[in-house]
Structure 1
């Protein structure tokens, strides 16, 4: 692996993913929520920053191209697991379905890419997939912040309810984009999946 700044940022983001869960093991709420939110936002910013630097400085590498989507998926999967696990009873049913759709798509597309091997270039990241990732990151950050608001303001507060709804709506939008991009990748992969 070539150790340049974009690759180091990607690796740090990959290592930060399990750190989200560790926050809830070692800290009580709302401190766990605060630390997880700050770690998640920092990682989301490096997602944009490492790609920008790699393109600008012409330091794009195969290792970076491979690790970047893995780091994104790890952050999203672990964050959704925590949010669903720690959500209040009121929101859990509405969180489970979009979280399931997102997790299913991520596993499915990763499996497609692995199966296609060298021909996986046909499944290059699209602009819509980048919007999907951005929407997921924003939704997850808003949902993490809800735990903080609940502690300081109370779960029945108008601002807490609206922050939860905003996060939920964004998560459903992300789930919709997730399904659209998943079907697009499947469509592109179909010619390579036909039996000879």
Structure 2
């Protein structure tokens, strides 16, 4: 494992997850906004680690593996927290779609890598937009409270559905790319 700042930022993103969970469950009026702030900071490291790795020329196979794992752990953890808190099918259904897509695409990438065709399902721009939409919507749902008179939680719900549509769109794109020719047949 190459140890450099981008890799450490990715590891920090993973390490912040238990902190988010513990703060989320504290019985204090500041708990949800603080868990949101930590989640946003973790989300910023998602952008920063990749940017720095490319800028400094320290991209590694381990970093390329760990970065999407950290993203998926972040999204799944916060989705589970929010679904448990809200206890609503309006959150549960998008959560199932998002987590199901992440598992499906991870498996697809593993399968394609086994055939030497991982590049066909490399992360594209829609995947990056999808992750940004997920982190934005989950931040709003984590925050919970109104802010400057704006119904942040309701806005987060709407944003979650936008993120869910982007999630499905990106999955269809990856599936099309993977199965675009007969080279993926066993």
TM-score by length of 2: 0.90
**1:100 aligned residue:** 96
**Residues 18, 112 of structure 1: CA spacing in aligned structure 2 closer, same or farther, 3 A cutoff?**
farther
> Using the alignment, how far apart are the partners of 1:164 and 1:8 within structure 2?
32
The aligned counterpart of 2:75 is 76
Q: Assess if the C-alpha contact under 8 Å between 1:20 and 1:78 holds in 2.
A: no
1:112-148 Cα offsets, whole Å, 9 max, x none, are 11222242221111111111100110100111111xx
Q: Verify: 1:189 aligned to 2:154, yes or no.
A: no
Could you say what secondary structure the match of 1:173 adopts?
A: helix
Structure 1 stretches of 4+ with a deviation exceeding 6 A read none
C-alpha change, 1:159 and 1:100, in structure 2 (3 Å) is: farther
Specify which of 164, 170, 180 is matched with residue 175 of structure 1.
Answer: 164
Aligned length: 182
Q: Secondary structure at the match of 1:2?
A: coil
Unaligned runs of 5+ in 2: none
For residue 35 of structure 1, report the CA deviation from its aligned partner: 3.1
Aligned partners of 2:35 and 2:143 also within 8 Å: no
Conservation of the 8 A alpha-carbon contact between 2:97 and 2:164: yes
Q: Contact between 1:10 and 1:46, CA under 8 Å: does it hold in 2? A: yes
In 2, are the aligned partners of 1:20 and 1:39 still within 8 Å (CA)? yes
2:137 pairs with 139, 146, 149, which one?
A: 139
CA RMSD of aligned residues (A): 1.9
What is the TM-score with the length of structure 1 in the denominator? 0.85
| 1:164 alignment counterpart | 153
Q: Gaps spanning 5+ residues in structure 1: where?
A: none
More helix by share: 1
